[in-house]
C-alpha cells in the first residue's frame, strides 16, 4: 500500500471529522477535575460522539493485528502512562497530568487529536513537560510543506526536546489517516533532515509526539494496551491531524477551543 492523496471531496470530509474530534476535547475539558474517573470521561465523550455528533468513536473495539480489541471509546493516559491508557474507575487526583486522545469517524473519515489536561495544580516540572511537548508538536507541524521530507518533521521535534533532557518515544509514531485509522506513512518523531518520504499536497497524517521527562524507553502493561515509561518518569503527548496543502499545512483538528498556535 502507498500513501493516498485525498481528493477535494475527501478533504472536506476530513475537515468535518477533524472539527468534531476537536469539539470532543473542548467538551470534555471542564469535566477533567480531581475526583472524576476516566470511565466517567469515557462515557461523556462516547455519548457526545454517538448521540450528538452521530459519529463513531474509532477506538472502541479497534483491534489492529495482534491486539486484543480496545475496550473503550477514548484513550486516557495519566502521568507516567505514555499512550493508550484504558479508562477505568480510578479517580483523577490533584497534580495529575492526563492525555485524552480522541478519534472520531464521520461519514467514513477519521479525525485524531489529543491534548494534555492539568488536574488541579501539577508540579512546575509536569507543566513544563506539557508545554515543551506542545511546542514540539508545533515545530513538527511547521516543518510540513510540499517537497519537505518526513525526516524534517522528526528532526524538528527531536532536535528541540533532546537538548532539554527529554526523551522521544520511538515505538509509536504519527500515521497517515483517512478512511482508515492508521494508514501509511509512519511519521516518526525523530530523524534526520532531508531523509524519508517526500510530502505532497493532499496527504493527511497525524503528528503526535510522546515526550518523556526521563529516558525514552517504554514498556507495555499486561492489559495489552497501556504503555508506560520504563523509568516511571512523566510522559506527555499532543496530537493533531494535518493536511499538506500547496503552500504548507492545514490543521484539520480545530475548533473554537483549540489553543492558538505558538
Residues that bind ligand MF3 (CB under 6 A): 59, 62, 70, 75, 84, 101, 103, 112, 206, 208, 225, 239
**Are 95 and 224 a contacting pair, CB within 8 Å?**
no
User: Binders of Co ion among 175-214, rule CB under 5 A?
Assistant: 206, 208
112 touches Co ion (CB under 5 A): yes
Residue nearest to ligand MF3 (CB): 59
Binding mask of the shown chain, residues 88 to 107, with x at each position contacting Co ion by CB under 5 A: -------------x------
Q: How far is the CB of 13 from ligand MF3 (least distance, A)?
A: 19
**Beta carbon nearer to Co ion, 212 or 241:** 241
**Beta carbon nearer to ligand MF3, 70 or 249:** 70
Residue the block writes with cell 501539577:
122
Q: How far is the CB of 73 from Co ion (least distance, A)?
A: 12
DSSP calls for 131-152: HHHHHHHHHHHHT-STT-BHHH
**90/107 Cα distance (integer angstroms):** 34
End-to-end CA distance of the chain, in Å? Answer: 35
List Cα–Cα distances, 127 to 33, 36, 102, in angstroms.
16, 20, 21
**Beta carbon nearer to ligand MF3, 208 or 250:** 208
**Are 48 and 31 a contacting pair, CB within 8 Å?**
no
**Beta carbon nearer to ligand MF3, 81 or 233:** 81
Q: Helices 150-161 and 124-142 sit at what angle, rounded to 10 degrees? A: 150
**80/133 Cα distance (integer angstroms):** 14
Query: Choosing among Co ion, ligand MF3, none, which partner's interface includes residue 225 (Cβ < 5 to 8 Å by kind)?
Result: ligand MF3
> Interface residues with Co ion (CB under 5 A)?
101, 112, 206, 208, 239
Amino acid at each position: 500500500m502507498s500513501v493516498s492523496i485525498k481528493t477535494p471531496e475527501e478533504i472536506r470530509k476530513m475537515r468535518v471529522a477533524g472539527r468534531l474530534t476537536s469539539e470532543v476535547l473542548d467538551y470534555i475539558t471542564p469535566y477533567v477535575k480531581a475526583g472524576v474517573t476516566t470511565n466517567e470521561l469515557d462515557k461523556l465523550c462516547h455519548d457526545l460522539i454517538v448521540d450528538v455528533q452521530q459519529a463513531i468513536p474509532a477506538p472502541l473495539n479497534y483491534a489492529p493485528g495482534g491486539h486484543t480489541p480496545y475496550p473503550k471509546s477514548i484513550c486516557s493516559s495519566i502521568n507516567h502512562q505514555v499512550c493508550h491508557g484504558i479508562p477505568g474507575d480510578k479517580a483523577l487526583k490533584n497534580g495529575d497530568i492526563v492525555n485524552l486522545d480522541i478519534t472520531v469517524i464521520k461519514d467514513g473519515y477519521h479525525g485524531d487529536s489529543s491534548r494534555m489536561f492539568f488536574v488541579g495544580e501539577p508540579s512546575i516540572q509536569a507543566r513544563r513537560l506539557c508545554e515543551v511537548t506542545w511546542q514540539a508538536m508545533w515545530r513538527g507541524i511547521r516543518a510540513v510543506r510540499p517537497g519537505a521530507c518526513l525526516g524534517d518533521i522528526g528532526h524538528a521535534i527531536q532536535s528541540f526536546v533532546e537538548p532539554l533532557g527529554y526523551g522521544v518515544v520511538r515505538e509509536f509514531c504519527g500515521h497517515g489517516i483517512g478512511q482508515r485509522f492508521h494508514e501509511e506513512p509512519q511519521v516518526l518523531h525523530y530523524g534526520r533532515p532531508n531523509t524519508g518520504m517526500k510530502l505532497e499536497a493532499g496527504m493527511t497524517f497525524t503528528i503526535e509526539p510522546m515526550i518523556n521527562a526521563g529516558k525514552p524507553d517504554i514498556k507495555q502493561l499486561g492489559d495489552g494496551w497501556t504503555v508506560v515509561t520504563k523509568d516511571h518518569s512523566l510522559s506527555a503527548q499532543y496530537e493533531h491531524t494535518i493536511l499538506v496543502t500547496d503552500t504548507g499545512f492545514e490543521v484539520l483538528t480545530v475548533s473554537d477551543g483549540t489553543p492558538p498556535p505558538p
